[in-house]
Structure 1
Amino acid sequence: MIESWVIDDDGSVPSSSEAVVDTLRARIDSGQLETWLTSSSGRTEAFVTNTERAMVVLLEEEGDPGEHAVDPGAGGSSDGFALSHGQHDEYPNEDTVPIGEAFRLVEHIVGAGFWPADARWVVDR
């Protein structure tokens, strides 16, 4: 069975891999820097950005520490990651990826259900 994904606060309309990046860009343009997607199998994917870098997290189930995309060797940290409940976070750059890479990762996960073969990610479980 192929997994389908929906953006949590956009209702129950499935998001295709072809459309998900456009949807994320539109959300960012409207000031929504945090997006959660849920799959038909119950997995969730988080995308949180400061418009330059993004944290991409894949969770197998509720309460799962999950796994997240990384940029090994990226120095420093970035702030401006605004969560929907008003919290503003700062993350080490090695725990986030450039926004273009984040779009590519989300698109692949929505389309294939797993990280691209060349993606860099760590398991937090």
Structure 2
Amino acid sequence: MLVIESWMIHEDSPVPVSSEVVLEALRSRIDRGQHETRLTSSSGRSLTFVTNAERAMVMLLEDEGDPGEHAVDPGALGSSDGFVLSNGQYDEYPDEDTVPICEAFRLVQQIVGTGFWPEDARWAVDR
């Protein structure tokens, strides 16, 4: 029997969020000015989504001290700013280390639904 981990939005509530509603939750948080969302899984992993409303950084960590892995856009040129973290920190990232927001939504939905990156996703391992 395959058991898929459950995911919760770290700051919101202890109620699991499914792949069917996670995008609605992310969009709602962005509309409220919350551009960073951290999801935690029942197995101890975390999934972080940080956006400037055009591009997003998507990071998957195995545990608290793990450098993890993040989605990439190989060949993207330049950098983008406007990534405001929950602690008020204002970040700028190279575009190759972020993905367009629609792609980020797809990645988050897949990870929440299956626990894995989509087969066609591009990511960098930071370990």
TM-score, normalised with respect to structure 2: 0.98
- Counterpart of 2:77 in structure 1: which amino acid? G
Which digits, 9 at most, give the CA deviation of each residue in 1:49-105, with x for residues without a partner? 000000000000011000000000000000000001110000000000000000000
Structure 2: 5+ residue stretches without partners: none
Match of 2:126 in 1: 124
> How far off is 1:2 after superposition?
1.4
- Counterpart of 2:96 in structure 1: which amino acid? E
Distance 1:3 1:27 in 2: 23
Structure ranking higher in helix proportion:
1
Match of 1:78 in 2: 80
- Counterpart of 2:95 in structure 1: which amino acid? N
Match of 1:95 in 2: 97
Structure 1: 5+ residue stretches without partners: none
- Counterpart of 2:83 in structure 1: which amino acid? F
Equivalenced residue count is 125
1:24 to 23, 26, 46: 26
- Partner SS state of residue 59, structure 2: strand
Match of 1:33 in 2: 35
1:47 matched to 2:49 = yes
- Counterpart of 1:8 in structure 2: which amino acid? H
Distance 1:115 1:61 in 2: 17
1:107 matched to 2:109 = yes
Give the RMSD, CA atoms, in angstroms.
0.4
- Partner SS state of residue 116, structure 1: coil
Among all aligned residue pairs of Structure 1 and Structure 2, give the percentage whose two residues are the same amino acid: 74
Match of 1:8 in 2: 10
- Partner SS state of residue 88, structure 2: coil
